[in-house]
Amino acid sequence: MFRIAIIEDDKVCMNKLADYIKQFSSDEKIELSIETFNDASSFLFSFQQQYDIIFTDIDMPKINGYDASKMIREKDENVVLVFVTQLTQYAIKGYEVNASDYILKPVEYDSLKLKMKRFIKLVSKKNEDVITISTSTDEKVAIKLNSLIYIESDDHLLKYVTNDNEYYSFGSLKKCESKFPSLFFRCHASYLINLSYVERLEKYTIHLKNGFNIPLSRSNKKEFMEAIQNLYINGE
């Protein structure tokens, strides 16, 4: 699922954009979730790297879209950021915050559809290659997915174990899980593993390369075996 946020103080424009994105989801058979915010302050208050694509208006009271985008980039360097504006000069400022694109108002469906296809490809590529996390010490760390062995959850503390390091971050494993490609499998309530590191299974213990042993829930065993089969036999 791709997660989308819309920040727009004009309710008519917000609803129109949301409706077009829902139409795109239906036309292209791509699962999307949409959350809307009528000002940047309410969005920034709850923002914790949980979106794949953010559409933001520029001309808004209190915090404008450009300033909000700078704050977004401080927390998330990878999210696809899209300006929605009536004025092309604002679109140029998007390059200063590494915006992926801009959409001119009034929004037209055919134009949005083409751009959405590109945004989805961008998100998919980023998800395959690297993730960026905010650690428990408030540092930003980029982790290559092919180096990430597993993630362990202890209440709301997440431990990311890679080939050469460990990183700690606050969050939910359930929310974290949705960001990862099918190569990662939730084998236990407390563990998300990279299937490419699986060495063997003994009863309900998964032995990973590098000597890690991870528990497998009984209820997940059948799905785990199918995932391994898809990975190594069907190449999926």
As given in the structure block, the two tokens for residue 185 are 């499998």
Asked if residue 41 has pLDDT above 90, the reply is yes
Number of structural domains found in the chain: 2
Asked if residue 71 has pLDDT above 90, the reply is yes
DSSP state of 230: I
CATH of the domain at 142: 2.40.50.1020
pLDDT at 131: 79
* Overall average pLDDT of the 118-138 stretch: 81
Which of the listed residues 110, 129, 148 is the one where a domain comes to its end? 129
Residues with Cβ < 8 Å from 52, sequence gap 6 or more? 2, 3, 4, 79, 80, 123, 127
Residues 92 and 8 in one domain: yes
202-209 long-range Cβ contacts below 8 angstroms, 24+ apart: 208/149, 208/150, 209/149
The pTM is what? 0.58
Q: Are 206 and 150 in contact (CB under 8 A)?
A: no
CA dihedral 62, 134, 73, 11 (to 10 degrees): -50
